[in-house]
Chain A
Amino acid sequence: MSTAPISSPRQACHPASELTVLRERGQQTVFCGLTGIIWLHRKIQDAFFLIVGSRTCAHLMQSAAGVMIFAEPRFGTALLTERDVAGLADANEELDRICVTLLERRPDISTLFLVGSCPSEIIKLDLSKAAERLNARLGAKVRVLDYSASGLETAFTQGEDVALKSMVPLLPETDAKQLLVVGSMADIVEDQFQRIFTQLGIESVRFFPPRRATDLPPVGKQTALLLAQPFNHSTVRALMARGAQLLSTPYPFGAEGTTAWLQAAANHWGISEAHFAQVTAPLIERARTGLAKYREQLVGKRLFFMPDSQLEIPLARFLQRELGMVLVEVGTPYLDRQMMAPELALLPSGVTLSEGQDVDAQLDRVRASRPDLTVCGLGLANPLEAENLTTKWSIELVFTPIHGYDQAADLAEIFARPLRRRAQLVV
């Protein structure tokens, strides 16, 4: 690790914008990929996620999942004990025993994910072998998949990416022309987009992940990919390896992002400009009406994004272009230039981007610039509030319907609310 926190700025790929990127190494304050399970187990209703890890992993899950842990969770931890770590117990036998017991008791599970963690990675427990073995043993009843969502390899939302990627080999083959929307979204948002695609005349639309693991969408050479989330790079590349074609577009946040996103699909399907305008104009109008009152609250306000989920760049673009906020720094845990190119092109030139984190150095920059709003994780939010800096806790952005036209104002409200609250309180 270099102790020099910042390497020399690099030119962005996009010639239209001169973007400074700070690349930082040091203490990271991000979740590991295991946290992806917290929303994935809700999204995919017939799957069970079994983490193979330590008490720390189990503790993380219950701390992050809060009260949900008791509302019939579909995840658990196979806790490594001293005997497993010392090699006294055959870890494979132990794992098989736990899986078989679990599945006997839970006949409703169609898919079991074995999820690797830091400890299981370090002791080189081969979960893909275990999945193979269990698949042979269990036959057609249950499908066992594996992926690793350790902190060593994944940050927060990358936990979804590795989970989805593990499902790609199972997708059926199809030569039919279809649209595949990739990334977890709220059910209500999926339904809205489904309606819009139908109105546009795009008939065959599937979503990945599906709501049931038994209902996997097919993929093939005639499949076009639209990305709902910016963090599923390895899944997207695996789908492209199966012949799917990526539609390059900004992400569907705000009226502008959503329009561009739909436009990419409409263009691919050869839908006329006139028809596209006819379908989208009232929706754009409605989104703008919703956004108008927030613009008053947010325009000119200075915004600092600390890295969390890779949603930072698309959201910064939305807040800057549609609501008039001023970007002080936009931090992201990981920057995939190919997947982010259409977004980077829309950012104002001169904006400071940072990739990775050295949290103490970054906090120094927050304190020095004193932004009006800092978007950060819950480990930093209250301490910054106590320094009289207004914060927006970033995790909410992963747990709230924020995509599409009819959520544009809700998304703006998420950022406006803490500012309004601070203005309202007189104690």
Chain B
Amino acid sequence: MQLTIWTYEGPPHVGAMRVATSMQGLHYVLHAPQGDTYADLLFTMIERRDHRPPVTYTSFQARDLGADTAELLTQTVARAYERFKPQAMLVGESCTAELIQDQPGALAQGMGLPIPVIALELPSYSKKENWGAAETFYQLVRTLLHDLIPPPGSGPRERPAGQPPRANILGPTALGFRCRDDVVEITRLLAQLGIEVNVVAPLGACPYDVRLIPEADFNINLYPEVAHSAVSWLQRTFKMPATKIVPIGVGATREFIAEVAALAGVDPAPVLSKEQPGVAALSASQSRLHWYSRSVDSTYLTGKRVFIFGDATHALAAARIARDEMGFEVVGLGTYAREFAREVRAVAQELGIEALITEDYLEVEAAVAALHPELVLGTQMERHIAKRLGIPCAVISSPVHVQDFPARFAPQMGFEGANVIFDTWIHPLMMGLEEHLLGMFKEDFEFHDQASPSHLGKASLPAATYAAQAGEPRAVASSAPQEAVAAPVAGDDTPHWAPEAEKELSKIPFFVRGKARRNTERFARERGVTTITTETLYDAKAHFGR
């Protein structure tokens, strides 16, 4: 057992629901107890969908357990088929049904329905939501393309003469972070290169569309968390090449353009020639990020310490943007997606830090508390960790809540995505002038340490902020378990702060104060200093630099 208050991912059957809800003409019968229909709300409320998810639950109750739950399942399948007449059906179980072992997939396949029935085996007690989505999509693609598999030894598909190059966009789903607008942005980019989109799946596709997948020249693996299994199977079976670069950020988008142009056999120059690194002319490029980032008001962003956490795709993209395109210092990088731990570790190593691979948000909170970043880029979860610690935060990855399914066009990918990212990440940070004045004058009644940036309106930071910023241990008797867990407990070897040094520390701008405290204590410990004076503070400052 594991104590959990927040989970970064739902169970795997929610991943299967995401695939089913993304598509049309596909129905999902889920063997699940009464109450598991809560998952409908993810789609109808958080994503504001205007239709019920195409999911029928058996809704068994205690009284059914004495009877025949298998019978209940076959009746539910039959009625769902009669009512919805889907082109294909997914059949699977939730965590509770997994324990009663009715074999719903096999039962449904034995019913002789005149459509493909895909039996889902999703182990609820060892796997999670993204794995469930990837597995469901993979099984669906395999089943629907089964009779189209070319004989062994066949080469890749020959493009008919006169036909423009075509790509599939694979991976976007319902409840995916900004999938809706990413697809629009990437489709636009491909059009500029003269590449047609063949099929987008699962988002918006029907089973019949899935059967058209092999008619493209290559696949765009837009969201590896969902599409990696299907893409690699298509690569092995249909010899379809696939992209490896996810186009989030200006640099990654440029590389992606070069990559798809090579796969499609087209010349990227018409698009890429205007996108040379260092061309700081606003008019030359489709992206504004690199000019905004080079303009002098962004100078104060240099070296701002940022902590990044999310799914692997978005965390890796954010790390690159943060360092190479914003000029931040990445002090923490992690993911909850164990399947991609290796890739994240490699990038962290390159950044000179150790990757945090965990699904335990208490660990994430402890890491944020220990690192004292000036900005947190994470999920909805980190938003609340950051709020508690009084650190500016922006969301870069699922899990997200309703505000991250916005009405406006808000991609993360492509050049417009980079524009959105620049604005989103900068917004929570204090503006340059205010930051300067706070460093100069500390005793203003309106603008002070514990007021939030004035451009964010009246929201003031929580009272705990000052202590958290200053790196002081929080009360263990707090009413929140995660607070107690994550509270940094001072060790016995923590040097003592002389009152005048403590006072001097409070004059340091609040967003770097936590780091200054930590560095000074480390400096003192390394030198056996037991009482920190004002001199120790400045000695440490000289030693470490800012």
* Bind each other: yes
Which A residues fall within an 8 A CB radius of B? 1, 3, 26-35, 48, 52, 54-56, 58-60, 62-64, 66-67, 69-70, 72-82, 84-85, 89, 91, 94-95, 97-98, 101-102, 105-108, 118-119, 121-123, 150-153, 155, 360, 377-383, 385-386
Chain B residues with CB under 8 A of A56? 10-11, 13-14, 36, 94-96, 124
User: Taking the nearest CB of chain B, how far is it from the CB of A1, in angstroms?
Assistant: 5
Q: Count residues on chain B whose CB falls below 8 Å from chain A CBs.
A: 70
Count of A-B residue pairs with CB < 8 Å: 212
With A3-B79, A54-B96, A55-B124 as given contacts, are A69 and B62 in contact (CB-CB < 8 Å)?
no
| Other contacts beyond A35-B38, A70-B387, A72-B483: 14, CB < 8 A | A27-B76, A54-B96, A69-B5, A70-B381, A77-B4, A106-B479, A106-B481, A106-B484, A118-B35, A119-B99, A152-B61, A360-B79, A378-B45, A382-B49
- A155 to B485 CA separation, bound complex (whole angstroms): 33
Q: Mark B82-113, 1 if CB is under 8 A from A, else 0.
A: 01000000000011100110000000000000
Residues of chain B at the chain A interface (Cβ within 8 Å): 1-7, 9-11, 13-14, 33-42, 44-46, 48-52, 56-62, 64-65, 67, 71-72, 75-76, 79, 83, 94-96, 99-100, 123-126, 128, 381, 384, 387-388, 401, 476-481, 483-485
- Residues of B within 8 Å of A381, CB to CB, are 44
- In the bound complex, CA of A82 to CA of B2 (Å): 11
In the complex with contacts A58-B7, A106-B484, A152-B61, A379-B479 CB distance below 8 A: no
Can you list 20 pairs linking A and B with CB atoms under 8 Å apart?
A26-B59, A28-B34, A29-B37, A52-B1, A55-B128, A56-B13, A56-B14, A59-B39, A63-B46, A69-B6, A72-B483, A73-B480, A76-B4, A79-B3, A84-B1, A101-B3, A102-B481, A119-B99, A150-B33, A383-B49
A34's contact among B35, B83, B485, by CB below 8 Å, is which? B35
Looking at the complex, which one of B48, B381, B479 makes contact with A72 (CB distance below 8 Å)?
B479
- List residues of chain B with CB within 8 A of the CB of A105: 476, 481, 484-485
Closest to A96 in B: B1
Q: Is the CB of B50 within 8 A of A82?
A: no
Contact status A360-B481, CB under 8 Å: no
Residues of A within 8 A of B384 (CB): 67, 69-70
Q: B125 and A386: CB pair below 8 A?
A: no
| B65 CB contact (under 8 Å) in A66, A119, A152 | A152
CB of A155 within 8 A of CB of B59, answer no
Interface contact A64-B38, CB-CB below 8 Å: yes
Q: CA of A32 to CA of B36 in the docked complex: distance in angstroms?
A: 7
B216 to chain A, nearest CB (A): 33
Chain B residue contacts of A84, Cβ below 8 A: 1, 125
Across the two chains, which residue of chain A brings its CB closest to B47? Answer: A382
A192 to B497, CA, bound (A): 53
What 4 pairs across the A-B complex have the smallest Cβ distances?
A32-B35, A151-B35, A379-B40, A70-B384
B60 to chain A, nearest CB (A): 7
CB-CB nearest in chain A for B67: A1
A55 — nearest CB in chain B belongs to which residue? B11
A123 proximity list for chain B (CB < 8 A): 99
Q: B128 to nearest A CB, angstroms?
A: 7
Closest partner residue, chain B, to A84 (CB atom): B1
Separation in Å of the A369 CB from the closest CB of chain B?
19
